[in-house]
Amino acid sequence: MSDDLADEPTGPTALAEARPTDAAARPLDAVLLAGGRASRLDGASKPELEVGGRTLLSLAIDAARRAGARTVVVVGPPALSAPGCLVVREEPPFGGPVAAIAAGLAALDPARSDAPSDVLVLACDLPQAPDAVDRVLAGRARHIAADGVCLVDVDGRTQWLTAIYARAALDTALGALDGGPDGAAMRHLVGGLDLVEVADGGTGADVDTWPDLERARERARERPRRGPAPGADGGTRTAGRGGTDSRSDTDTNTDTGTDTDTGTDTDTDTDTEERA
């Protein structure tokens, strides 16, 4: 895995300059993970929690649309409100993030999988989802040949669920899993991929607990609010199964992400210990 850890500028201007304009630019789809148990939030529906007057799910959808995703798949309960998105459920429910990613990929148009494309994988627990995705996009533009780009926080924790992956690489990794995706650990899925880590600059702070939610709401009161992305008023489609960063601006190659996993994942909840 490579590290691209500068606390870089983001936003529309920076991204317009960073995105490749030649044939290396690839289409993008999005798989949003919204099906966890939220055990540390007393079982509350985490995607429907509000920060700054918007749900965490709507912020994730907005981030995917701003990134230019052709199709946005939300993996979670069918009752979720996801305008303009395809809603699917992993099998079995609460089968973990790898199972959710597999369900999301299966829901994408199979005709599109033959051409080189990327997939944004995004957990629906990020109050700063649009800013986080801006960073991943900028990193991907500079490392188009890699298997993917993911965020890493200031403590060195790799955020595999805030990432852009090459669709072909992700499909191959899923097919190589022993025992299939149900309950599989993210580190087993991405361990063999050539990934680039991009410093999150604080944008990867997620909501796992009630104090996390209070802090996120306080931050939202202190910063300007982004409007929704254009075209955010489509109908929901439902389908069945299917801060400041102190790190340096250097690129170094390794082959695997930070290993924070001690077992298997049994929930699409994106609490820190369940991200691996």
Q: What is the pLDDT of residues 36-51, one digit of tens each?
A: 777 788 778 889 999 9
Angle at 9 between CA 4 and CA 14, to 5 degrees: 105
Report d(CA 191, CA 171) in Å as an integer.
14
Mean per-residue pLDDT of the chain: 79
Q: What is the pLDDT of residues 226-250, one digit of tens each?
A: 556 655 555 544 443 233 333 333 3
**pLDDT score recorded for residue 45:** 86
Secondary structure letter of residue 253 according to DSSP: B
Q: Is the dihedral of CA 189, 49, 206, 4 positive or negative?
A: positive
Q: What is the pLDDT of residues 177-192, one digit of tens each?
A: 988 999 999 999 999 9
pLDDT band at residue 125 using 50, 70 and 90 as cut-offs: very high
For the full predicted model, state whether its pTM sits above 0.85. Answer: no
Q: Judge whether 134 and 64 are in contact, CB under 8 Å.
A: no
Phi, psi of 57 (to 5 degrees): -65, -45
Q: What is the pLDDT of residues 86-115, one digit of tens each?
A: 999 998 888 999 999 999 999 997 766 667
What are the structure tokens assigned to 8, written together? 């870089």
Q: What percent of the chain clears pLDDT 90, i.e. is strictly above it?
A: 59
What are the structure tokens assigned to 1, written together? 């895995």
Report d(CA 159, CA 233) in Å as an integer.
29
Q: Judge whether 74 and 87 are in contact, CB under 8 Å.
A: yes
Encoded amino acid at 152, one letter: V
Report d(CA 105, CA 171) in Å as an integer.
8
**pLDDT score recorded for residue 37:** 76
